[in-house]
Structure 1
Amino acid sequence: MKKVISALFISLLSFQLVQAQKKELTKHPDALNFLVMGDWGRNGEDHQKPVATQMGKAAKTLSTDFIIATGDNFYPSGVISEHDPLWKYSFEDIYTDFSLQWDWYPVLGNHDYKSNPDAQVAYSKISRRWKMPARYYSKIFSIHGDTTKQVLIAFIDTNPLIPQFYKGEYSNATIGQDSTAQKRWLEGVLANNSPTIKWKIVVGHHPLFTATQKRRESYDTRAVRASLKSVLDKYKVDAYLCGHDHDLQHLLPEGKTHYFVSGSASEKTEIGTLPISKLALSEYGFMAFSVTDKKLYVQVINHEGNIVYTTELTK
């Protein structure tokens, strides 16, 4: 009897998931719309192209304002210069839809640190859509053009926050980086208490929390959590967006901040769940965010264009 009930329960869950995947993208009027994707640059391989195709469709439906890339932009070892062929093979030739020709705001991942991270900064002077003015930076976006309703986003470099990166394969790119200066800068950005700023978001590569088995308490997860959690809590950051883990996650630990992992734009790996997990999915895909002054809507889309999860944050 227990086996029958268990089978029925699993069937019900499967049915609900299929039903959820049949939903069409919801477009929210008067919202700031952007896509979030990560861990992607593989010359089109391992589902990078199918994900890119669905990104183009979603961006068109939502009239996306920009795209956020959460790091590990070029596998296996970043780019060596702003003229590296990978710019063409992994970026320009893949994300070709007209709806993806708007601004891209990337952060650096650990694989990007294996070569020349500053080459990705330099590419901003060549590409009209690649917007990385420095290894870390911030920008204020108006919601639907209304300057009285804005979203503050800080794009950070989590690599120097990890002590182990100052030796070994990442050391050439990490030595000389002042992690204390970056944290002071981040606090200065987040301290902005203008009444026009309705939401505060931080984007980095490494997660503070993750249900991915091998990364839950890995040295990099623990280091970034120890470095950033108190800052995010202090300034009541609404959401932290990251990649690194090749899956799709939404986690809500103690505190105000919601944690989203979007790192499966061209690879997926196994994942478990945690008590704080609201979504833990091993699937190729990306996320779509729609932000109004009172609501932050999230839609998670897989490589087949199915919506596999939705949630909303309310002010």
Structure 2
Amino acid sequence: MGKMGEKLDIDFVVSTGDNFYDNGLRSVHDLAFEESFTDIYTANSLQKQWYSVLGNHDYRGDAEAQLSPLLTKIDTRWLCLRSFIVNAELAEIIFVDTTPFVKSYFQDPEDHIYDWRGINPRKHYIANLLKDVECALRESNAKWKIVVGHHAIKSVGHHGDTKELATHLLPILKANNVDFYMNGHDHCLEHISDTESPIQFLTSGAGSKAWRGDVKQLNREGLKFFYDGQGFMSVQLTQSNAEIAFYDVDGKILHRWNAFKQFGDHSSI
């Protein structure tokens, strides 16, 4: 990542959640913050702003610790909020807190204890979040509209589709001309084109642990790329072009895809 970050002269880094595996942080004083973040991403090119969302594993610890400005004092790169918007000039990136959407974490948590402070009542939280996302997308004049969440809307990986997001979030994305939905959760790299809209579903969840051979419905319609090893993704944007690239751990490009825009229209190759 450091080498590619230097080559591409990146502006910032996006983390798609499960920032601290396996059970988040214990507190703002947890040494895992520095051991798994500050001491790992040491390349000069990665000393830029990091934007992070919470994953389901982050909710198994002290979720609010990751949201604390005290962590930013430890490492100024760190910014993690439940849901927020980054205006990156050419693009507006809307980060969505997807973990509360998933019913099973509430109804069947197994042996896990989730930190639901600030979430309950769940239905009220989700309704307000969806309203905010819809309003932000509707009012956006950005050339590119990008939504980032931890859970996949569409995936052929271990977890598969997140039906709650497909039901409640996806219609809002379609209605508001979102270009890309980016997520983690499944420990793989994926590119799936929506068959009913221009939306591209991009999974980048292979930054640490990868699940070899854990694939569902590999021949699914719209699947452009799947890789069950470790790696990461880059996004380069101009007024008229977006280039998405997926890399393995050595920086080898595994898949590259371009989208073009002319006067607000979508086209791709």
What TM-score do you get using the length of structure 2 for normalisation? 0.88
Aligned pairs, number: 247
> What is aligned with 1:257?
199
Letter in 1 for 2:78: W
> What is aligned with 1:139?
86
Choose which of 180, 184, 191 in structure 1 pairs with 2:131. Answer: 184
> What is aligned with 2:72?
124
Whether 1:215 aligns to 2:159 is yes
> What is aligned with 2:100?
160
> What is aligned with 1:10?
none
Higher relative contact order (CA 8 A, sep 6+): 1
Identical columns (%): 33
What is the deviation of 1:139?
Answer: 1.3
| TM alignment of 1:1-315, pairs within 5 A | 55-122=1-68, 123-132=71-80, 134-142=81-89, 150-167=90-107, 168=109, 169=112, 171-173=114-116, 174-177=119-122, 178-194=125-141, 197-212=142-157, 214-217=158-161, 221-253=162-194, 254-269=196-211, 270=213, 271=215, 272-315=218-261
Gaps of 5+ in 1: 1-54, 143-149
Letter in 1 for 2:92: L
Contact 1:166 1:175 in 2 (8 A): no
Contact 1:250 1:280 in 2 (8 A): yes
Tell me which structure has the larger Cα radius of gyration: 1
Cα distance in structure 1, aligned partners of 2:72 and 2:167: 31
Letter in 2 for 1:135: R
What RMSD, in angstroms, separates the aligned Cα atoms of the two structures?
1.5
What SS does the corresponding residue of 2:198 show, helix, strand or coil?
coil
What is the deviation of 1:70?
Answer: 0.3
Higher percent of residues as helix:
1
Of 69-78 and 267-276, deviating more is 267-276
Cα distance in structure 2, aligned partners of 1:204 and 1:157: 6
What TM-score do you get using the length of structure 1 for normalisation? 0.75
